[in-house]
Amino acid sequence: MTMINAYDPGRTAGIAAETAALIERRRRLLGPAYRLFYDNPVHLVRGEGVFLYGPNGEAYLDAYNNVASVGHCHPHVVAALARQAAILNTHTRYVTDGVLDYAERLLASLPPALGHIMFTCSGSEANDLALRIAKAATGGTGVIVTENAYHGVTDLLAQMSPSLGPAAPLGPMVRAVPAPSGDDGASFAVGVAAAIADLAAAGIRPAALLVDTIFSSDGVFADPPGFLAAAVAQIRAAGGLFIADEVQPGFGRTGAGMWGFARHGVVPDIVTMGKPMGDGHPMAAMAARPDLLARFGEKLRYFNTFGGNPVSCAAGMAVLDVIEGEGLIAAADRVGRLLKAEIRGLRPCYPMLGAVRGAGLFLGVDILDEAGEPSGVLAGRLVNALREERILISATGRLGHTLKIRPPLVFTETHADMLVQGLERAVNWVAA
Protein backbone atom coordinates (compact mmCIF):
# COMPACT_ATOMS: atom_id res chain seq x y z
CA MET A 1 0.00 0.00 0.00
CA THR A 2 1.10 3.59 -0.42
CA MET A 3 2.04 3.06 3.17
CA ILE A 4 0.65 5.91 5.17
CA ASN A 5 1.21 6.23 8.90
CA ALA A 6 3.24 3.02 9.17
CA TYR A 7 5.71 2.23 11.91
CA ASP A 8 9.26 1.67 10.67
CA PRO A 9 10.27 -1.66 12.25
CA GLY A 10 13.86 -0.49 12.72
CA ARG A 11 12.82 2.36 14.96
CA THR A 12 13.21 2.06 18.73
CA ALA A 13 13.63 5.67 19.94
CA GLY A 14 10.96 6.81 22.35
CA ILE A 15 9.18 3.45 22.45
CA ALA A 16 8.39 2.08 25.93
CA ALA A 17 10.32 -1.11 26.77
CA GLU A 18 7.16 -3.19 27.23
CA THR A 19 5.79 -2.04 23.86
CA ALA A 20 9.14 -2.67 22.16
CA ALA A 21 9.16 -6.23 23.51
CA LEU A 22 5.65 -6.84 22.15
CA ILE A 23 6.64 -5.43 18.75
CA GLU A 24 9.56 -7.83 18.61
CA ARG A 25 7.30 -10.72 19.63
CA ARG A 26 4.82 -9.76 16.89
CA ARG A 27 7.60 -9.72 14.32
CA ARG A 28 8.74 -13.18 15.41
CA LEU A 29 5.25 -14.72 15.52
CA LEU A 30 3.22 -12.87 12.89
CA GLY A 31 5.89 -12.25 10.26
CA PRO A 32 6.54 -9.22 8.07
CA ALA A 33 3.23 -8.48 6.30
CA TYR A 34 1.39 -6.69 9.12
CA ARG A 35 1.88 -2.97 9.74
CA LEU A 36 1.57 -0.94 12.91
CA PHE A 37 0.38 2.66 13.03
CA TYR A 38 2.57 5.54 14.24
CA ASP A 39 6.31 6.10 14.76
CA ASN A 40 5.61 5.21 18.36
CA PRO A 41 3.09 2.34 18.12
CA VAL A 42 0.19 2.38 20.54
CA HIS A 43 -0.20 -0.51 22.98
CA LEU A 44 -3.83 -0.95 23.99
CA VAL A 45 -5.49 -3.09 26.61
CA ARG A 46 -9.05 -1.77 26.84
CA GLY A 47 -11.65 0.41 25.14
CA GLU A 48 -14.77 2.21 26.27
CA GLY A 49 -16.88 4.67 24.27
CA VAL A 50 -14.55 7.00 22.38
CA PHE A 51 -11.53 6.17 24.53
CA LEU A 52 -8.86 3.50 24.24
CA TYR A 53 -6.58 2.73 27.15
CA GLY A 54 -2.94 1.71 27.43
CA PRO A 55 -1.43 -0.66 30.01
CA ASN A 56 -0.91 2.07 32.58
CA GLY A 57 -4.43 3.42 32.26
CA GLU A 58 -3.42 6.20 29.87
CA ALA A 59 -6.44 7.32 27.80
CA TYR A 60 -6.34 7.94 24.05
CA LEU A 61 -9.13 9.90 22.39
CA ASP A 62 -10.16 7.74 19.46
CA ALA A 63 -10.93 9.96 16.49
CA TYR A 64 -10.19 7.27 13.95
CA ASN A 65 -11.89 3.93 14.50
CA ASN A 66 -15.10 3.56 12.53
CA VAL A 67 -15.39 -0.16 13.28
CA ALA A 68 -16.33 0.37 16.92
CA SER A 69 -18.86 2.78 15.47
CA VAL A 70 -21.30 2.91 18.36
CA GLY A 71 -18.41 3.14 20.81
CA HIS A 72 -15.83 0.66 22.01
CA CYS A 73 -17.36 -2.26 23.91
CA HIS A 74 -20.85 -0.76 23.93
CA PRO A 75 -22.65 -2.58 26.81
CA HIS A 76 -25.82 -3.19 24.76
CA VAL A 77 -23.80 -4.90 22.01
CA VAL A 78 -21.64 -6.85 24.47
CA ALA A 79 -24.75 -8.10 26.30
CA ALA A 80 -26.46 -9.14 23.05
CA LEU A 81 -23.35 -11.03 21.95
CA ALA A 82 -22.96 -12.81 25.26
CA ARG A 83 -26.67 -13.64 25.51
CA GLN A 84 -26.85 -15.21 22.04
CA ALA A 85 -23.49 -17.00 22.43
CA ALA A 86 -24.97 -18.79 25.44
CA ILE A 87 -28.09 -19.89 23.54
CA LEU A 88 -27.24 -20.99 19.99
CA ASN A 89 -24.61 -20.42 17.33
CA THR A 90 -24.91 -22.27 14.02
CA HIS A 91 -25.06 -21.25 10.37
CA THR A 92 -27.43 -20.45 7.54
CA ARG A 93 -28.08 -24.10 6.63
CA TYR A 94 -30.53 -24.38 9.52
CA VAL A 95 -33.76 -22.50 9.98
CA THR A 96 -33.21 -19.84 12.62
CA ASP A 97 -35.15 -16.66 13.19
CA GLY A 98 -32.39 -14.21 14.25
CA VAL A 99 -30.96 -13.95 10.76
CA LEU A 100 -34.42 -13.23 9.33
CA ASP A 101 -35.26 -10.57 11.91
CA TYR A 102 -31.92 -8.92 11.22
CA ALA A 103 -32.28 -9.21 7.42
CA GLU A 104 -35.74 -7.65 7.61
CA ARG A 105 -34.49 -4.74 9.68
CA LEU A 106 -31.44 -4.08 7.50
CA LEU A 107 -33.40 -4.32 4.27
CA ALA A 108 -35.88 -1.82 5.68
CA SER A 109 -33.00 0.69 5.90
CA LEU A 110 -32.18 0.20 2.20
CA PRO A 111 -34.14 1.30 -0.88
CA PRO A 112 -36.98 -1.17 -1.66
CA ALA A 113 -35.31 -2.18 -4.95
CA LEU A 114 -32.62 -3.96 -2.93
CA GLY A 115 -34.78 -6.85 -1.90
CA HIS A 116 -32.28 -9.51 -0.83
CA ILE A 117 -29.39 -9.52 1.60
CA MET A 118 -26.64 -12.11 2.09
CA PHE A 119 -24.21 -12.27 4.97
CA THR A 120 -20.43 -12.60 4.94
CA CYS A 121 -17.67 -12.13 7.50
CA SER A 122 -15.70 -9.30 5.92
CA GLY A 123 -16.11 -6.42 3.52
CA SER A 124 -13.76 -8.21 1.13
CA GLU A 125 -16.05 -11.22 0.96
CA ALA A 126 -19.05 -8.94 0.43
CA ASN A 127 -17.30 -7.20 -2.49
CA ASP A 128 -16.18 -10.52 -3.91
CA LEU A 129 -19.75 -11.81 -3.86
CA ALA A 130 -21.03 -8.55 -5.37
CA LEU A 131 -18.61 -8.89 -8.27
CA ARG A 132 -19.57 -12.50 -8.89
CA ILE A 133 -23.22 -11.47 -9.03
CA ALA A 134 -22.48 -8.48 -11.27
CA LYS A 135 -20.53 -10.64 -13.71
CA ALA A 136 -23.26 -13.30 -13.80
CA ALA A 137 -25.99 -10.70 -14.30
CA THR A 138 -24.31 -8.59 -16.98
CA GLY A 139 -22.12 -11.08 -18.79
CA GLY A 140 -19.42 -8.43 -18.55
CA THR A 141 -16.07 -8.66 -16.80
CA GLY A 142 -14.73 -5.08 -16.71
CA VAL A 143 -14.64 -3.21 -13.41
CA ILE A 144 -14.07 0.51 -12.86
CA VAL A 145 -12.66 1.78 -9.56
CA THR A 146 -11.05 5.00 -8.37
CA GLU A 147 -7.33 5.53 -8.67
CA ASN A 148 -6.53 5.17 -4.98
CA ALA A 149 -9.34 2.77 -4.12
CA TYR A 150 -9.21 0.00 -1.57
CA HIS A 151 -11.81 -2.76 -1.79
CA GLY A 152 -10.35 -5.74 0.02
CA VAL A 153 -7.78 -8.41 0.74
CA THR A 154 -8.49 -11.18 -1.76
CA ASP A 155 -6.44 -11.75 -4.90
CA LEU A 156 -9.36 -10.47 -7.00
CA LEU A 157 -9.91 -7.36 -4.91
CA ALA A 158 -6.22 -6.58 -4.63
CA GLN A 159 -6.39 -6.21 -8.42
CA MET A 160 -9.05 -3.51 -7.88
CA SER A 161 -7.29 -1.77 -5.00
CA PRO A 162 -4.70 0.59 -6.51
CA SER A 163 -3.96 2.03 -3.07
CA LEU A 164 -1.96 -1.16 -2.44
CA GLY A 165 0.67 0.29 -4.77
CA PRO A 166 2.67 -1.13 -7.67
CA ALA A 167 3.29 -4.48 -5.94
CA ALA A 168 -0.42 -5.23 -6.48
CA PRO A 169 -1.01 -4.21 -10.11
CA LEU A 170 -4.48 -3.57 -11.50
CA GLY A 171 -6.09 -6.59 -13.15
CA PRO A 172 -6.37 -6.60 -16.94
CA MET A 173 -10.15 -6.09 -16.69
CA VAL A 174 -9.87 -3.17 -14.28
CA ARG A 175 -9.70 0.54 -15.07
CA ALA A 176 -8.94 3.19 -12.44
CA VAL A 177 -10.40 6.68 -12.72
CA PRO A 178 -9.43 9.84 -10.84
CA ALA A 179 -11.35 10.57 -7.68
CA PRO A 180 -13.67 13.57 -7.98
CA SER A 181 -11.89 16.88 -7.95
CA GLY A 182 -13.04 20.45 -8.24
CA ASP A 183 -16.11 21.89 -6.65
CA ASP A 184 -18.81 20.13 -8.60
CA GLY A 185 -17.47 16.56 -8.75
CA ALA A 186 -18.33 16.58 -12.48
CA SER A 187 -14.87 15.32 -13.41
CA PHE A 188 -15.78 11.96 -11.92
CA ALA A 189 -18.38 11.06 -14.57
CA VAL A 190 -15.98 12.23 -17.28
CA GLY A 191 -13.36 9.78 -15.98
CA VAL A 192 -15.89 6.96 -15.81
CA ALA A 193 -16.98 7.61 -19.42
CA ALA A 194 -13.34 7.49 -20.53
CA ALA A 195 -12.79 4.21 -18.66
CA ILE A 196 -15.88 2.67 -20.29
CA ALA A 197 -14.54 3.70 -23.69
CA ASP A 198 -11.12 2.26 -22.86
CA LEU A 199 -12.66 -1.06 -21.83
CA ALA A 200 -14.71 -1.10 -25.04
CA ALA A 201 -11.59 -0.44 -27.11
CA ALA A 202 -10.04 -3.53 -25.49
CA GLY A 203 -13.16 -5.57 -26.25
CA ILE A 204 -14.16 -5.78 -22.57
CA ARG A 205 -17.80 -5.42 -21.51
CA PRO A 206 -18.21 -3.64 -18.18
CA ALA A 207 -19.66 -5.55 -15.25
CA ALA A 208 -19.57 -2.79 -12.64
CA LEU A 209 -18.54 0.57 -11.34
CA LEU A 210 -17.34 -0.21 -7.80
CA VAL A 211 -17.12 2.90 -5.63
CA ASP A 212 -16.66 3.70 -1.95
CA THR A 213 -19.32 6.38 -1.75
CA ILE A 214 -17.21 8.69 0.43
CA PHE A 215 -13.94 7.93 -1.39
CA SER A 216 -12.13 7.16 1.89
CA SER A 217 -8.76 6.08 0.55
CA ASP A 218 -8.81 8.64 -2.27
CA GLY A 219 -8.95 11.51 0.23
CA VAL A 220 -12.60 11.83 1.39
CA PHE A 221 -14.82 13.42 -1.27
CA ALA A 222 -18.42 13.98 -0.26
CA ASP A 223 -19.55 17.15 -2.00
CA PRO A 224 -21.58 18.30 -3.68
CA PRO A 225 -24.16 15.63 -2.89
CA GLY A 226 -25.45 14.17 -6.14
CA PHE A 227 -22.28 14.13 -8.23
CA LEU A 228 -22.20 10.31 -8.31
CA ALA A 229 -25.47 10.16 -10.24
CA ALA A 230 -23.95 11.06 -13.62
CA ALA A 231 -21.31 8.32 -13.31
CA VAL A 232 -23.95 5.78 -12.29
CA ALA A 233 -25.98 6.70 -15.40
CA GLN A 234 -22.86 6.18 -17.55
CA ILE A 235 -22.13 2.69 -16.27
CA ARG A 236 -25.77 1.62 -16.64
CA ALA A 237 -25.93 2.94 -20.18
CA ALA A 238 -22.89 0.77 -20.95
CA GLY A 239 -24.63 -2.33 -19.52
CA GLY A 240 -22.78 -2.41 -16.19
CA LEU A 241 -24.02 -2.18 -12.61
CA PHE A 242 -23.32 0.27 -9.83
CA ILE A 243 -21.93 -1.40 -6.70
CA ALA A 244 -21.90 0.99 -3.73
CA ASP A 245 -19.14 -0.05 -1.33
CA GLU A 246 -20.59 1.17 1.97
CA VAL A 247 -17.95 -0.52 4.11
CA GLN A 248 -16.69 2.91 5.23
CA PRO A 249 -19.61 5.36 4.90
CA GLY A 250 -22.43 3.00 5.89
CA PHE A 251 -24.36 2.74 9.16
CA GLY A 252 -24.94 6.44 9.64
CA ARG A 253 -21.42 7.79 9.44
CA THR A 254 -22.22 10.54 6.93
CA GLY A 255 -24.93 11.94 9.19
CA ALA A 256 -27.45 11.81 6.34
CA GLY A 257 -29.32 8.54 6.75
CA MET A 258 -27.82 5.10 7.00
CA TRP A 259 -26.01 4.95 3.65
CA GLY A 260 -23.50 7.14 1.85
CA PHE A 261 -25.07 6.64 -1.58
CA ALA A 262 -28.32 8.27 -0.40
CA ARG A 263 -26.59 11.67 -0.33
CA HIS A 264 -26.12 11.27 -4.08
CA GLY A 265 -29.76 10.50 -4.80
CA VAL A 266 -28.88 7.17 -6.44
CA VAL A 267 -30.15 3.64 -5.84
CA PRO A 268 -27.31 1.16 -6.33
CA ASP A 269 -27.81 -2.20 -7.99
CA ILE A 270 -25.74 -3.83 -5.26
CA VAL A 271 -24.60 -2.53 -1.86
CA THR A 272 -21.78 -3.96 0.24
CA MET A 273 -21.26 -3.20 3.92
CA GLY A 274 -19.05 -4.32 6.78
CA LYS A 275 -16.74 -2.64 9.28
CA PRO A 276 -19.19 -0.80 11.62
CA MET A 277 -21.89 -3.43 11.29
CA GLY A 278 -21.07 -5.37 14.48
CA ASP A 279 -19.24 -2.67 16.48
CA GLY A 280 -16.05 -4.73 16.14
CA HIS A 281 -17.61 -8.17 15.76
CA PRO A 282 -16.51 -9.46 12.32
CA MET A 283 -19.53 -9.33 10.06
CA ALA A 284 -20.47 -7.95 6.66
CA ALA A 285 -23.14 -8.23 4.00
CA MET A 286 -24.16 -7.69 0.41
CA ALA A 287 -27.62 -6.48 -0.64
CA ALA A 288 -28.80 -6.81 -4.24
CA ARG A 289 -31.74 -6.40 -6.55
CA PRO A 290 -33.59 -9.74 -6.62
CA ASP A 291 -33.49 -9.99 -10.43
CA LEU A 292 -29.68 -9.79 -10.36
CA LEU A 293 -29.33 -12.36 -7.62
CA ALA A 294 -31.75 -14.70 -9.39
CA ARG A 295 -29.34 -15.24 -12.27
CA PHE A 296 -26.48 -16.04 -9.87
CA GLY A 297 -28.56 -18.13 -7.47
CA GLU A 298 -30.09 -20.31 -10.17
CA LYS A 299 -26.70 -21.65 -11.13
CA LEU A 300 -24.68 -21.40 -7.95
CA ARG A 301 -25.09 -21.96 -4.25
CA TYR A 302 -23.42 -19.72 -1.69
CA PHE A 303 -22.46 -20.84 1.79
CA ASN A 304 -20.32 -18.73 4.08
CA THR A 305 -19.65 -20.78 7.21
CA PHE A 306 -19.75 -17.91 9.68
CA GLY A 307 -21.70 -15.35 7.65
CA GLY A 308 -25.15 -14.76 9.11
CA ASN A 309 -24.60 -16.82 12.26
CA PRO A 310 -26.99 -16.10 15.14
CA VAL A 311 -24.37 -14.43 17.35
CA SER A 312 -23.31 -12.03 14.59
CA CYS A 313 -26.93 -11.25 13.84
CA ALA A 314 -27.55 -10.48 17.52
CA ALA A 315 -24.56 -8.12 17.52
CA GLY A 316 -25.79 -6.47 14.32
CA MET A 317 -29.28 -6.01 15.76
CA ALA A 318 -27.82 -4.45 18.89
CA VAL A 319 -25.78 -2.00 16.77
CA LEU A 320 -28.96 -0.93 14.95
CA ASP A 321 -30.70 -0.51 18.34
CA VAL A 322 -27.93 1.82 19.49
CA ILE A 323 -27.81 3.84 16.26
CA GLU A 324 -31.55 4.44 16.56
CA GLY A 325 -31.87 4.63 20.34
CA GLU A 326 -29.01 7.07 20.83
CA GLY A 327 -29.84 9.15 17.74
CA LEU A 328 -26.36 8.62 16.34
CA ILE A 329 -27.08 9.66 12.76
CA ALA A 330 -28.32 13.08 13.83
CA ALA A 331 -25.40 13.31 16.26
CA ALA A 332 -22.92 12.50 13.48
CA ASP A 333 -24.39 15.32 11.43
CA ARG A 334 -24.37 17.81 14.33
CA VAL A 335 -20.93 17.02 15.74
CA GLY A 336 -19.44 16.59 12.27
CA ARG A 337 -20.60 20.06 11.23
CA LEU A 338 -19.16 21.56 14.41
CA LEU A 339 -15.85 19.78 13.92
CA LYS A 340 -15.64 20.91 10.32
CA ALA A 341 -16.41 24.51 11.28
CA GLU A 342 -13.88 24.48 14.13
CA ILE A 343 -11.09 23.07 11.95
CA ARG A 344 -11.94 25.57 9.21
CA GLY A 345 -11.76 28.24 11.91
CA LEU A 346 -8.09 27.38 12.49
CA ARG A 347 -7.16 27.86 8.84
CA PRO A 348 -6.60 31.63 8.80
CA CYS A 349 -3.93 31.21 11.51
CA TYR A 350 -2.34 28.05 10.15
CA PRO A 351 -1.61 27.93 6.40
CA MET A 352 -0.59 24.28 6.84
CA LEU A 353 -4.31 23.46 7.04
CA GLY A 354 -5.92 23.28 3.60
CA ALA A 355 -9.36 22.18 2.46
CA VAL A 356 -11.61 20.50 5.02
CA ARG A 357 -13.98 18.03 3.37
CA GLY A 358 -16.40 15.31 4.36
CA ALA A 359 -19.82 14.50 5.69
CA GLY A 360 -21.00 13.66 9.18
CA LEU A 361 -18.22 12.16 11.25
CA PHE A 362 -15.93 11.44 8.33
CA LEU A 363 -13.63 14.36 7.60
CA GLY A 364 -10.55 14.84 5.46
CA VAL A 365 -8.22 17.79 6.05
CA ASP A 366 -5.58 18.55 3.41
CA ILE A 367 -2.13 19.42 4.74
CA LEU A 368 -0.02 21.86 2.76
CA ASP A 369 3.67 22.77 2.79
CA GLU A 370 5.00 26.34 2.70
CA ALA A 371 4.53 26.47 -1.07
CA GLY A 372 0.88 25.51 -0.61
CA GLU A 373 1.49 22.05 -2.10
CA PRO A 374 -0.04 18.89 -0.57
CA SER A 375 2.42 17.33 1.87
CA GLY A 376 2.23 13.73 3.00
CA VAL A 377 5.34 14.29 5.10
CA LEU A 378 3.76 17.09 7.13
CA ALA A 379 0.49 15.14 7.44
CA GLY A 380 2.49 12.21 8.81
CA ARG A 381 4.20 14.48 11.34
CA LEU A 382 0.85 15.86 12.45
CA VAL A 383 -0.63 12.38 12.86
CA ASN A 384 2.35 11.39 15.01
CA ALA A 385 2.29 14.64 16.98
CA LEU A 386 -1.38 14.04 17.76
CA ARG A 387 -0.55 10.50 18.83
CA GLU A 388 1.88 11.97 21.36
CA GLU A 389 -1.06 14.14 22.53
CA ARG A 390 -2.94 10.81 22.91
CA ILE A 391 -5.35 11.63 20.12
CA LEU A 392 -5.67 8.99 17.42
CA ILE A 393 -6.25 9.85 13.75
CA SER A 394 -4.53 8.82 10.53
CA ALA A 395 -3.97 10.07 6.98
CA THR A 396 -5.31 9.17 3.55
CA GLY A 397 -5.18 10.11 -0.13
CA ARG A 398 -2.77 9.20 -2.90
CA LEU A 399 0.00 11.30 -1.33
CA GLY A 400 -1.05 10.61 2.25
CA HIS A 401 -1.55 14.36 2.67
CA THR A 402 -5.11 14.30 3.96
CA LEU A 403 -5.80 13.87 7.67
CA LYS A 404 -8.46 11.20 8.13
CA ILE A 405 -10.81 11.90 11.03
CA ARG A 406 -13.42 9.19 11.52
CA PRO A 407 -14.28 8.66 15.20
CA PRO A 408 -16.87 6.36 16.75
CA LEU A 409 -20.29 7.97 16.28
CA VAL A 410 -20.66 8.58 20.01
CA PHE A 411 -18.11 11.39 19.65
CA THR A 412 -19.63 14.47 21.29
CA GLU A 413 -19.05 18.22 21.06
CA THR A 414 -16.67 17.93 24.04
CA HIS A 415 -14.60 15.33 22.21
CA ALA A 416 -14.61 17.50 19.08
CA ASP A 417 -13.21 20.39 21.15
CA MET A 418 -10.50 18.11 22.58
CA LEU A 419 -9.54 17.05 19.07
CA VAL A 420 -9.41 20.59 17.70
CA GLN A 421 -7.34 21.85 20.64
CA GLY A 422 -4.96 18.92 20.17
CA LEU A 423 -4.76 19.62 16.44
CA GLU A 424 -3.84 23.24 17.11
CA ARG A 425 -1.04 22.17 19.49
CA ALA A 426 0.17 19.60 16.95
CA VAL A 427 0.20 22.16 14.12
CA ASN A 428 2.21 24.57 16.28
CA TRP A 429 4.64 21.80 17.17
CA VAL A 430 5.09 20.62 13.57
CA ALA A 431 5.42 24.18 12.26
CA ALA A 432 8.05 25.13 14.86
Positions touching ligand PLP (CB under 6 A) are 122-124, 127, 150-153, 212, 216, 245, 247-248, 274-275, 284
Smallest distance, ligand PLP to C-beta of residue 372, A: 29
Smallest distance, ligand PLP to C-beta of residue 243, A: 10
User: Which of residues 151 and 175 has its CB atom nearest to ligand PLP in the complex?
Assistant: 151
User: Which of residues 143 and 418 has its CB atom nearest to ligand PLP in the complex?
Assistant: 143
Pairing label, strands 46-48, 353-359:
unpaired
Contact 106, 285 (CB under 8 A): yes
User: Which of residues 161 and 234 has its CB atom nearest to ligand PLP in the complex?
Assistant: 161
User: Which of residues 72 and 275 has its CB atom nearest to ligand PLP in the complex?
Assistant: 275
Q: Residue 146: beta bridge partners?
A: 177
User: Which of residues 103 and 271 has its CB atom nearest to ligand PLP in the complex?
Assistant: 271
User: Which of residues 219 and 422 has its CB atom nearest to ligand PLP in the complex?
Assistant: 219
Contact 70, 328 (CB under 8 A): yes
Smallest distance, ligand PLP to C-beta of residue 247, A: 4
Smallest distance, ligand PLP to C-beta of residue 67, A: 9
CA distance 394 to 64: 7
Smallest distance, ligand PLP to C-beta of residue 310, A: 20
For 1-45, give the DSSP string: ----SB--TT--TT--HHHHHHHHHHHHHH-SS---BSSSPPP--
Smallest distance, ligand PLP to C-beta of residue 284, A: 6
User: Which of residues 134 and 385 has its CB atom nearest to ligand PLP in the complex?
Assistant: 134
User: Which of residues 138 and 216 has its CB atom nearest to ligand PLP in the complex?
Assistant: 216
Smallest distance, ligand PLP to C-beta of residue 122, A: 3
Other C-beta atoms lying within 10 Å of the C-beta of residue 256: 20
User: Which of residues 245 and 342 has its CB atom nearest to ligand PLP in the complex?
Assistant: 245
Residue whose CB is nearest to ligand PLP in the complex, by number: 123
Distances (CA, A) of 205 to 96, 198, 297: 40, 10, 22
Contacts with 41 (C-beta within 8 Å, 6 or more apart), sequence order: 7, 15, 19, 23
User: Which of residues 127 and 234 has its CB atom nearest to ligand PLP in the complex?
Assistant: 127
Q: Residue 212: beta bridge partners?
A: 245
Contact 355, 210 (CB under 8 A): no
Using DSSP's 3-state secondary structure scheme, residue 421 falls into helix
Other C-beta atoms lying within 10 Å of the C-beta of residue 369: 14
Contact 355, 327 (CB under 8 A): no
Query: What's at 341, amino acid-wise?
Result: A
* Cβ density class 232-252: b for 16+ within 10 Å, e for less: bebbeebebbbbbbbbbbbbb
Smallest distance, ligand PLP to C-beta of residue 328, A: 20
User: Which of residues 357 and 415 has its CB atom nearest to ligand PLP in the complex?
Assistant: 357
**Length of the chain (residues):** 432
Contacts with 285 (C-beta within 8 Å, 6 or more apart), sequence order: 106, 117, 118, 119, 120, 126, 272, 273, 274, 277, 307
Smallest distance, ligand PLP to C-beta of residue 313, A: 17
**417 membership: H or E segment, kind and range:** helix 413-431
Nearest Cα neighbor of 234 from 263, 198, 262 is 198
Smallest distance, ligand PLP to C-beta of residue 10, A: 26
Smallest distance, ligand PLP to C-beta of residue 157, A: 7
CA distance 108 to 105: 5
